[in-house]
Amino acid sequence: MLILPAIDILDGKAVRLLRGEYDKKTVYGEPTEFAAQYKRDGATELHVVDLNGARSGRTDNFSVVKDLVQVGLNVEVGGGIRNMETVERYLSCGVKRVILGTAAIKDPDFLASAVKSFGDAIAVGVDTKGGLVATDGWEKVSQTDSFTFCTHLRDIGVKTVVYTDVSTDGTLKGTNMDAFSRLQQIAGLNVIASGGITYPYEIFTLAKKGLFGAILGKALYEGVLTLPTALRAAEGLC
C-alpha cells in the first residue's frame, strides 16, 4: 500500500484545516521543506491539494506545485481542476496523477473526456459529509451517495479514487474504517484512504484490506505519527 504524505496549500503555505473548515486552519510553513523531509524519511509519493484552487476553480498555487515536483516525489494534485487545459498544464509540469473533485460530479462530460484522454493519470477525489459527496472546497454538499458514486466512477473507467470523510479530517481521532471496508468491495477500483488517519494499526489494517494507498496529514505535522513508522505499518510491520 502506498503512503502519501499530504501537503495542503493555502496562500502558498502548507496548512491543515479542521474538518475542512477554512477558518479553522493551522499554518505549518513552506511546502517544499516538508516535501524534502518526507523524501529523506523514505517517501516516494506526495498528495497535494491547492485549497485556494478548490474554492476559486483556478490554479492559484501552480508555481508551488511545480516546485514540489522538482523535489523528486511522485506528485498527485487536486483542487480547482475543472477543464482539460488545467489537467494538461499539471501533467506537463511532471505531476503523476491529477485529482478531479467538484468537476467530477458537476461536469460528467469533462470527467469522461479526461479519463479517455489521460487514463490512469486521472483520479477522482470523493469528499464526503454524512455519506454524501461534498464539492467546492468541501463547502457544499450534494445529494449524491458517496458509495454509489464510487461504483459509478469505476463503471465509467476511473481507476483511482481518493476518498475523504471530512468529519474525521484533521481531528487526530482516527479514520472512518467502516467506509473503507465498504469501498474495498468495489472490484477494480483503487481506493486511497484519507481523513483522520492517525495510528499505525489503522495503516496496518488498511493495508491488510488491500487498499491502494493512505494519505497522512496532520498526524505527521503534529508528530503523532512518523513517516518511517507509517511506511513500516504499510508493509505489515506494525
- Beta-ladder partners of 49: 8, 78
How far, in Å, CA of 216 to CA of 194, rounded? 7
> Do 176 and 163 touch, CB atoms closer than 8 A?
no
Residue 184, CA distances (Å) to 14, 94, 95, 189, 206 in order = 30, 29, 26, 8, 10
Look at residue 152 in the predicted model and tell me its pLDDT: 96
Which domain range does residue 104 map to?
2-234
pLDDT band at residue 202 under the 50/70/90 scheme:
very high
List the CATH number of the domain containing 196: 3.20.20.70
pLDDT value, residue 137: 63
CA dist 186 → 14, 56, 90 (Å): 33, 32, 29
* pLDDT for the residue numbered 184: 94
Please determine, for residue 199, whether its predicted confidence score (pLDDT) is greater than 90. Answer: yes
- How far is CA 64 from each of CA 44, 69, 87, rounded to the nearest angstrom? 18, 9, 16
Of the candidates 8, 50, 60, 165, the residue annotated as catalytic is 8
Cα(228)–Cα(39) distance, integer angstroms: 11
Q: Which of 7-16, 18-27, 54-63, 65-74 has the lowest mean pLDDT?
A: 18-27
- Average pLDDT for 6-29: 89
pLDDT confidence band for 232 (50 / 70 / 90): very high
pLDDT tens track for 117-155: 999 999 999 999 889 998 876 678 888 999 999 999 999
- What is the arithmetic mean of pLDDT over 215-237? 94
Of the candidates 50, 127, 165, 169, the residue annotated as catalytic is: 127
Segment among 39-48, 71-80, 86-95, 160-169 with least mean pLDDT: 160-169
pTM > 0.85: yes or no: yes
The whole-number average pLDDT for the span 224-237 is 94
In 79-197 the beta strands, taken as DSSP E runs, fall at 97-100, 122-129, 132-135, 140-145, 160-165, 190-194
pLDDT at 27 over 70: yes
Q: Give per-residue pLDDT as tens, 50-106.
A: 999 988 888 999 999 999 999 999 999 999 899 999 999 999 999 999 999 888 888
Are the CB atoms for 45 and 4 separated by under 8 Å? yes
| Number of domains comprising the chain | 1
8 is catalytic: yes
